[in-house]
Amino acid sequence: MKGKKTLRISIMLVLAASVLVLVQTQCRHDDLNSAIFAKVCYQTEIGPIFLRSCGTTGCHDAQRGKGGYTFTDYTSVMKAITPFNAQKSTAYKAITGKGFIQLMPPAGALSENERILIRVWIDQGAVNDPTCVPAVVGGTPPTTKSAEKVCFQRDLLPVLVSSCGIVGCHDVATHKEGYNITSYASVMSNLVKAGSPSTSRLYTSITQSASSENFMPPKPYTGLSQAVKDSIFNWIKNGALNDVCSSLCDTTGVITYQNQIASLISKNCISCHSGSGASKGILLDTYTAVKAQLDNGKLLAAVKGTSIQMPPSYSITSCELREIELWKANGAIQN
């Protein structure tokens, strides 16, 4: 049934109500009650997070094992885990910045949902049950993609508009090849077949080989990240609903580049301001580059629309604007 949301109900209903006050690196997961969550599975949910984010070559892989820890299999992961107590688990303290000089992974914090899943898994006993299957409505089997809830208005539309629905491409006026990617209705009109990513032009075009003439976004624009591609896959697979969902924006606590600003920039700006084809030569793909635009006043002027409106087709939310203002006021902290 299209109206039935295929998602991890137990986790996501709690997130929608509590994410604004519970989720942040320093660390408002602390009051989560793992007993109210569905069982979290190591093989399909936790293991893949650790492997791709921590067990990479040169970090915590089997060969190097920085700090004496490896995150390539359950046995090695458990050396950094205290079952039933995330607060005392080295792995959890590292990904939330507690007691560590540098937040892990150093290349960028895990998403809020990933940190919550790890917290809940540990507090549930950190079990490796090979028969465990993520709880999803209707018995939909897990895919190789992330199982996180994806909301079109909150998670996808800003990325699609800033990467595809720009002037001269798939905006309302130009709509190249007949495609308009500026609203839910226009995206659904001829780009998406609900439930079938493999036959949806929106998904197949962004997963083409980068050398293909049909690859989108085209050069010199930067291609979408794998995380965004996976989100689009999951959104289509789960019915391509027009969900709004509660905002993940949070202006309480300390605002840092890694925890709030990097994802904000990635969602709204990075497609045009990265790589050799960066619009007007302005790069926003690193902390140093973003801070430079913050320090010279151009970043805030652009997102406020006092100089030139950025993103060009829409405005960031008032909460996101406040995040940037608070980040600057508190010294533009990186981690």
Q: The whole model's pTM is what?
A: 0.47
Residue given tokens 């000089």 in the structure block = 101
pLDDT of residue 36: 55
Residue 251 has pLDDT above 70, yes or no: yes
What's residue 316's pLDDT? 82
Average pLDDT over residues 253-281: 83
What pLDDT sits at residue 243? 75
Residue 331 has pLDDT above 90, yes or no: yes
- The average pLDDT across 280-291 equals 90
> Which has more pLDDT, 168 or 33?
168
Ordered DSSP codes for 217-279: SPTTSPPPPHHHHHHHHHHHHTT------------SS---IIIIIHHHHHHHTTTTSSSTT-G
Q: Read off the pLDDT of residues 11-33 as tens digits, 9 standing for 90 and up.
A: 444 443 343 333 333 344 444 56
Would you state the pLDDT for residue 81?
Answer: 94
pLDDT at residue 141 tops 60: no
Mean pLDDT across the chain, nearest whole number? 77
Helix residue ranges per DSSP H, the chain: 9-22, 47-53, 74-77, 90-95, 112-123, 157-163, 184-190, 201-206, 226-237, 262-268, 287-295, 298-304, 318-329
% of the chain at pLDDT higher than 70: 77
Q: Look at residues 185, 257, 168 and name the one whose alpha carbon lies nearest to residue 220.
A: 168
Mean pLDDT of 153-161: 86
Half-sphere exposure of 73 (CA within 13 A, CB side): 3
The one-letter amino acid code at 265 reads I
Mean pLDDT of all residues in 58-76: 80
pLDDT digits (tens, 9 = 90+) for 191-228: 998 888 888 889 988 887 766 666 778 776 667 878 78
Q: The tokens of 47 are what?
A: 């293991």
Neighbouring CB atoms inside 10 A of 291's CB total 17
pLDDT band per the 50, 70, 90 thresholds, residue 9: very low
